[in-house]
Amino acid sequence: MAIDPSLVGRTYPSSDAYEVGIEKIREFADAIGDPNPVYRERQAARALGHPDVIAPPTFPIVMTFQASRRLIEDPELGIDYTRVVHGEQRFAHSRPVLAGDALTVTVTLESVRSVGGHDMLTSRSDVATVTGEHVVTAWSTLVVRGDG
Amino acid sequence: MVSLTVEDTAVGTALPAQAFSIRRADLVRYAGASGDFNVIHWNERVATSVGLPGVIAHGMFTMALAARVVTDWAGDPARVVEYGVRFTRPVPVPDDDTGATVEVTGVVAAVLENDRVRVDLTVSQAGAKVLGRAQAVVQL
């Protein structure tokens, strides 16, 4: 079922702020097997000029994946999640995510297009602090496989 | 800290290559840390029932591993200001002690404005590319 193009631009505002814990960053760094001390020790992060431990560049997926469920589960989009494949992912950072950040995620349906019987939809997740400082924007392109 | 010099960042400069092994236990750990518990990343029965060759790695996990080549080279991971990939081919992870091996190479592909360079990554498994248009922008 094709996604209604008139829904492009629909925005899903943030619910509660995501509070970034240092242990969550350490857990994520462990999970990707990266021993870099800048993801673990405040002293190492400060030596590079950061106010606190920083998160790896793809860490924002933790909160944008969660936030994008509001779009994926929007009944008006009618997405069958069992047919969804992750097609593309991109991040553009104003600064790294820091331990102690309280972040909001606003999700927007940026585009939909049909390619070879599949729907491709791109969502944009704007991640900012609760005081409005932009941190990172993530774009996810999901491919909803057609009945094929 | 490590500082990149003009010589380090000339177009055509190769970044130190790295290889990463992915085992089933790594996928379980990544699922927990990322919150992506899609069954195709841990359940063989379900993965094969939807036409996959078996349990496959999270695309985001492969993307995170590939970033290491850039963050290690850049010295400060915060210099990686943009990073994007296309997921072009799944990475099957067999249920054994060896798992799958992903090989990552990178090259400085372009010098951009504002003291930035673009790094193009080649990410492959068993000789086949698994990510397409894998590019990072590094702030010098």
Q: Do B80 and A82 touch (CB under 8 A)?
A: no
Average pLDDT, stretch A45-60? 98
Q: Does 3.40.630.30 match the CATH number of domain B14-22+59-139?
A: no
Domain ranges of chain B: 14-22+59-139
Average pLDDT, stretch B107-128? 96
Residue-range domains of chain A with CATH: 5-20+56-144 (3.10.129.10)
Q: What are phi and psi of B31, to 5 degrees?
A: -60, -45
Q: Do B84 and A91 touch (CB under 8 A)?
A: yes
Q: Do B30 and A32 touch (CB under 8 A)?
A: yes
On whether the CB atoms of residues A106 and A13 are closer than 8 A, the answer is yes
- pLDDT attached to residue A147: 67
Average pLDDT, stretch B56-61? 97
**Residue among B33, B61, B83 whose CB faces A90 most closely:** B83
Q: Is the pLDDT of residue B1 over 50?
A: no
Pairing of strands B116-125, B131-139: antiparallel
Q: What is the DSSP letter of B95?
A: S
Helices (H) and strands (E) in chain A, counts: 3, 6
Single out the residue of A14, A115, A121 nearest to residue A77, CA to CA. A121
Q: Is the pLDDT of residue A148 over 60?
A: no
Average pLDDT, stretch B9-38? 96
Range from A51-55, B45-49, B67-71 carrying the lowest mean pLDDT? B45-49
Q: Do B29 and A31 touch (CB under 8 A)?
A: yes
Chain A residues lying within 8 Å of B86, measured CB to CB = 87-88
Chain A residues lying within 8 Å of B64, measured CB to CB = 32, 34, 56, 58
Residue B128 CB coordination number (10 Å): 9
Q: pLDDT per residue over A91-137, tens digit each?
A: 999 999 999 999 999 999 999 998 888 999 999 999 999 999 999 99
- pLDDT attached to residue A115: 86
- ipTM, two decimals: 0.96
Helix (H) or strand (E) holding B72: helix B59-74
Alpha helices in chain A (DSSP H): 22-31, 42-47, 61-72
Chain A residues lying within 8 Å of B77, measured CB to CB = 36, 38-39, 54, 56-57, 96
pTM, to two decimals: 0.96
- Residues B132 and B121: their CA atoms lie apart, in Å, by 9
The residues on A that touch B, with CB distances below 8 Å, are 24, 27-28, 30-34, 36, 38-39, 47-48, 50, 54, 56-58, 61-62, 65-66, 82, 85-93, 95-96, 139
